Amino acid sequence: MSQNNKTPHNKNQATFILDGKTIPFTEGQTIIQAAMASGEYIPHLCFNPEFKPHGSCKICTVTANGRQAASCTQQTQADMVVESNTKPINDERRALLQMLFVEGNHFCPSCEKSGDCQLQATAYELNMMSPHFDHFSPDRPLDSSHAEYLLDYNRCILCSLCARASSDVDGKNVFSLAGRGIKTHLIVNAKSGKLADTDFTGDDKAAHVCPVGVIIKKRVGFAVPIGKRSFDEHPISATPHPKVRDV
Amino acid sequence: MLSQDNTHSDYLDSILSRHQHNTHNLLQMLREAQEHYGYIHSEAIDYLAQQLQSPRSMIEGVASFYSLLYLQPQGDYRVLFSDNITDRMLGNIDLMESMCGQLWVEVGKVSEDGLVSINTTSCTGMCDQGPAVLINNIAINHLTQDRINSLCELIRERVPLSGWPLEFFAIEDNIYKKDILLDSNFKSGSALAEVLKRSSEETLQEIKTSKLRGRGGAGYLTGSKWEFCRIAVSEQHYVVCNADEGEPGTFKDRVLLNTYADMVFEGMTICAHVINAKKGFIYLRGEYRYLLDHLNAILQRRRQQGLLGNNIFGHANFNFDIEIHLGAGAYICGEESALIESLEGKRGTPRNRPPFPVTSGYLNQPTVVNNVETFCAASLIGLHGGAWYADVGIETSSGTKILSVSGDCARPGLYEYPFGVTVAQVLADCGAKNTQAVQISGPSGICIAANEFERRIAFDDLPTAGAFMVFDESRDMFEVARNFVHFFKHESCGFCTPCRVGTSLLSNMMNKLANGHGSPYDFTEIEKLNVLLLSTSHCGLGHSACNPVLDTIAKFRPAYDKRLTHKEYIPAFDLDYALSQARQMTGRDDTGAHLERIHVSK
Ligand SMILES: Cc1cc2nc3c(=O)[nH]c(=O)nc-3n(C[C@H](O)[C@H](O)[C@H](O)COP(=O)(O)O)c2cc1C
Ligand code: SF4
Ligand code: SF4
Ligand code: FES
């Protein structure tokens, strides 16, 4: 492959089709990476452009050449035909969101992350009107041991972004997934199981990547009023990853 | 029973050094560490974390993934009742309740004196001789009330397992029909002797000519798999034998490893010759722990025979050896990429594919993963040639298939047939009467009704990994499906949303139907769930999780209809049922303490 192929907007640039639009891509990009580089939005939760794709939430599911695949992990191929914003796919995404809502305990009105939460914003984007399924109402105690940060596990969607940030960026491994199946849960790297007993600090990348409201800075409660938050101002499809503000 | 000195180094140091302080052996180390206290002590995790220079959360994350590893104290006797539908049909629940009663312990708990803990576990691969238990990971089969009474006595008297009557530990092969594989009288080294007369290209060609397809379920062409791996450029190549055999109702790999292990090892060695591998692994399910010493002894013998190790059969530069890794209770580790993660000492989560193991498997090196039976067939092909093998069976499916027959029949056990045999023939051979249904290939396979018994075991009709569970007319096919759904929920690895949450939703729906709260609306919901799991799940477990319900709704609808007391949808939350706990606490059971009616839930 010639060097030129890697320059964007080159006539010889490899492209694929996303919902009828021609999108350029470079070798090795996954569908969502290429789409986002072109300003196209594909709903997603466990994907964050700064990290290696994980492929677990499946919200980013698309059909690629007729086969369903997670667009955050599916490699792009030249002339691939990808469908994303279609009714059947959005119906499925909505059902997956509903699953995430009933699996945890999400009381949006009382959540500090409300308006900045990608789960909530994606639910708005996809017109999710109700949780549809019966709530699991799991018992997930808070961890308020840390001086500056609170962990509200009720809202964890197990996307592992905090774990990836902590190990890949901070070099710390503060967070890990534990358990199996519906009992999968997040743990911290301390025998006590408490965040205060880890080397976590507010300067960690891991403190700022949670797409929902688990890792919450203490004592800044509602500094930005509801109504003025990222996804109040723009829908998530316009700014999928707003500038991180300390919530 | 904890020693007070708090030094876990006493036993962990030798475990660590035996495993070269290598985190890839973490699962093996945890399993061995557990043998010390019956659970993995929290301080043992600290010590391992320190010695391995790994975060303790990572170690905890691994340990908590596997259902046969414990982070909390268990009873000195850990009793696990196999809970496949075949065990249920043989009365395992009554036996378990009897044991709980005799030993004063609740299911899922440890007795107050710390003597015993009792729980259920997924199918332990003994369906031909159930009901079965694992006690401290050792299998005891053919449970009867008498045997349960004796076990309770031995436990109460704290007799160590080594002092229990040997007949309790007897495990039968139960082979009822032999064909080219089971009847081969295989001599160790005989296939390798033939193979080494040819070049590795020629051997690969023989495998391709045989049209052998994988026996683990997916049915991929073995020759192509080996070729992809062979041509993948890399320093190291690996051979992995998938002996996880977790699909409920499947137990043929257990017998192959017990009585035909030389064929398995020789098949792996032939593969190593073709793909140029120096190292192989057997991933043996933890439930088959009892086979470990036996298999290691055979490996040792083969080394002495010059069939493993350096310069195999005197061929310079043909060096290959095999190591056994034990699983620890996770069906998902049968999925090849999850198996490889587990081999690397991690949580058994399936990888994103591509890349596939043939180019990026163990330690990201090209790796062939094949089923136990596939390697046995490779030995036969090595010995007799590909054309000979392709002659057996039918056009689409060459060779033979070993079926693990269980359930309602006179002679449960192994039956080997050339591909193309009809279900009716198998039913006749195993002495099944008044058969209502057969579950082919386990919960993730297909359930067929009597009008389909002329169908054939073949890749293009009824493909199977081997399970063949028979249900006669007395059985409630709804309960069969409910048992399978519970299995999937228990075994979902939890990585992806659709399967992690969906299997629980499905299980709740089946319980709701069982409790008499279902409506036709729930069928539509189940169908929607199926479509969602099929299209968005990360691996085969999620893809097949709804199969048992869809099949039985389609084919045994009356079993569902009789549970539909409501025509309209009603929510699963049942206030009256919730109140039942309050009634229990207050000792009230008058009509005023009830909202609607008595419930029959369990
Ligand atoms: C959930 C799941 C469980 C599986 N369990 C097993 C198993 O226990 N044994 C097995 O050989 N293959 C199992 N497989 C299939 C393997 O992924 C793989 O296809 C197989 O080991 C390849 O060997 P073969 O080509 O010889 O069949 C499983 C697959 C899935 C999706
Ligand atoms: S805490 Fe947040 S970032 Fe971490 S796994 Fe849970 S949802 Fe994801
Ligand atoms: S489908 Fe189920 S078993 Fe497979 S990755 Fe997803 S959660 Fe795990
Ligand atoms: S964003 Fe792709 S699976 Fe989560």
Summarised one tens digit per residue, pLDDT across range A183-240 is 999 999 999 999 999 999 999 999 999 999 999 999 876 677 777 888 888 888 888 8
What pLDDT does A10 receive? 61
Q: Which ligand is nearest to the CA of B223?
A: 1
Spatial distance between the Cα atoms of B481 and A110, rounded to a whole number of angstroms: 41
- As for the ipTM of the complex, it is 0.93
Q: Please, are residues B533 and B545 in contact by the beta-carbon 8 Å criterion? A: yes
Sign of CA dihedral B366, B371, B372, B375: negative
Domains of chain B: 7-63 (no CATH), 77-172 (3.40.30.10), 180-391 (3.40.50.11540), 397-475 (3.10.20.600), 478-561 (1.20.1440.230)
Tell whether A184 is within 8 A of chain B (Cβ).
yes
Distance of CA B439 to the CA centre of its chain: 16
A 30-69 → B contacts, CB under 8 A: 53, 55-59, 61, 68
Nearest atom in ligand 2 to A158's CA: 5
Locate A238 and state its tokens. Answer: 């316009």
Give yes or no for residue B335 CB within 6 A of ligand 1.
yes
pLDDT tens across B56-65, in order? Answer: 999 999 999 9
Nearest to A185, CA basis, from B359, B178, B64, B460? B64
Region A56-60: mean pLDDT is: 98
Spatial distance between the Cα atoms of A6 and A25, rounded to a whole number of angstroms: 8
Spatial distance between the Cα atoms of B152 and B164, rounded to a whole number of angstroms: 12
The residue contributing the CA closest to ligand 3 atom 5 is B538
Nearest 5 degrees, angle CA B559-CA B565-CA B568? 115
For residue B330, the CA-to-ligand 1 centroid distance in Å is 13
Spatial distance between the Cα atoms of A151 and A213, rounded to a whole number of angstroms: 8
For residue A45, the CA-to-ligand 2 centroid distance in Å is 10
- The Cβ of residue B131 has, within 10 Å, a number of other Cβ atoms equal to 28
What is the DSSP code string of B266-331? HHHHHHHHHHT-SEEEEEE-GGGGGGHHHHHHHHHHHHHTTSSBSSGGG-TT--BEEEEEE--S-G
**Pair type for strands B77-82 and A175-178:** unpaired
Q: Rounded mean pLDDT of chain A?
A: 91
Query: pLDDT band for position A5 (50/70/90)?
Result: very low
Q: Please, are residues B398 and B389 in contact by the beta-carbon 8 Å criterion? A: yes
Spatial distance between the Cα atoms of B47 and A183, rounded to a whole number of angstroms: 26
Nearest atom in ligand 2 to A157's CA: 7
Tell whether A174 is within 8 A of chain B (Cβ).
yes
Residue of chain A nearest B58, judged by CA positions: A176
Q: Please, are residues B35 and B161 in contact by the beta-carbon 8 Å criterion? A: no
Residue length, chain B?
602
Q: Please, are residues B115 and B126 in contact by the beta-carbon 8 Å criterion? A: no
Q: Which ligand is nearest to the CA of A56?
A: 4
Residue of chain A nearest B541, judged by CA positions: A181
- pTM reported for the whole predicted model: 0.93
Give yes or no for residue A162 CB within 6 A of ligand 2.
yes
Alpha helices in B515-556 (DSSP H): 520-536, 540-544, 547-555
Distance from CA of B592 to the nearest CA of A (A): 28
What pLDDT does B597 receive? 42
Residue B139 carries which side chain, given as an amino acid letter?
A: A
Residue A90 carries which side chain, given as an amino acid letter?
A: N
The residue contributing the CA closest to ligand 1 atom 24 is B214
Q: What is the dihedral of CA A116, A117, A118, A124, to 10 degrees?
A: -90
Q: Bridge partners of B320?
A: B309
List of chain B residues whose C-beta atoms are within 8 Å of the C-beta of residue A75: 354
Give yes or no for residue A207 CB within 6 A of ligand 2.
no
Q: Please, are residues B153 and B145 in contact by the beta-carbon 8 Å criterion? A: no
Tell whether A187 is within 8 A of chain B (Cβ).
yes
A96:B536 CB<8 A: yes
pLDDT tens across B366-420, in order? Answer: 999 999 999 999 999 999 999 999 999 999 999 999 999 999 999 999 999 999 9
Spatial distance between the Cα atoms of B215 and B443, rounded to a whole number of angstroms: 17
Q: Bridge partners of A88?
A: none
Sign of CA dihedral A217, A221, A225, A226: positive
pLDDT tens across A12-21, in order? Answer: 789 999 999 9
Spatial distance between the Cα atoms of B421 and B177, rounded to a whole number of angstroms: 13
B492:A180 CB<8 A: yes
Q: Which residues of B touch A (CB under 8 A)?
A: 42, 45-46, 55-58, 60-61, 64-67, 330, 347, 352, 354, 489-498, 500-505, 508, 528, 531-532, 535-538, 571-573
For residue B491, the CA-to-ligand 3 centroid distance in Å is 9
User: Which stretches of chain B drop beneath a pLDDT of 50?
Assistant: 1-4, 596-602
SS3 content of chain B, % helix, strand, coil (to 5): 45, 15, 40
Domains of chain A: 15-85 (3.10.20.740), 90-220 (3.30.70.20)
